[in-house]
Amino acid sequence: MSPKKHRTTPGGSAEARRRLAIAQQYLALAAVLADDPSDGAINACIGNCVLAGIAAADAICYARLGERYSGPDHDQAADVLDRVSKEYGSTLRSLTRLKTKSQYGDEWLTDSTRKTALRNAQSLTNEADAALH
């Protein structure tokens, strides 16, 4: 059985740097909300963490693989990231599973979930930065 083919876009260090800059900005926005106790702030913080993680994953893939996933399925993006590191793919999956709840859901997420999302987004952003240096 051949491996699953994913839709990708080629790119290199210039594209990786742009995606890293975007990841860092989303993470900076999340950090502003990191200690805000209001319910809406928790969801907004997590939503920005998700976006930071996606952008960081793109940067990692551009830097390490010369391509990134370019479709709408975040699980497939994590599959591509798995080619760099299964751990990073798992981290991205844990973030993207929060996308719908944080950005479109009608329930309040918890502070514990926010802390985990911040840690995961920071981890992927740090790895993206390391991949470019």
Q: What's the average model confidence in pLDDT over 53-60?
A: 98
Q: What is the pLDDT of residue 27?
A: 98
Residue-number span of the structural domain to which 39 is assigned: 10-131
Q: Is residue 127 part of a domain?
A: yes
Q: What is the CATH number of the domain that holds 119?
A: 1.20.120.330
> With bands split at pLDDT 50, 70 and 90, how would you rate the model's confidence at 1?
very low
Q: What is the pLDDT of residue 112?
A: 96
In whole angstroms, give the CA distance from residue 11 to residue 33.
32
DSSP for 40-91?
HHHHHHHHHHHHHHHHHHHHHHHHHHSEEE-SS-HHHHHHHHHTT-HHHHHH
Q: Give how many domains the chain has, as a whole number.
A: 1
Q: Is residue 118 part of a domain?
A: yes
Q: Is residue 85 part of a domain?
A: yes
Q: What is the pTM of this model?
A: 0.94
Residue where the block lists tokens 């844990």: 94
Q: Is residue 120 part of a domain?
A: yes
Q: What's the average model confidence in pLDDT over 96-107?
A: 96
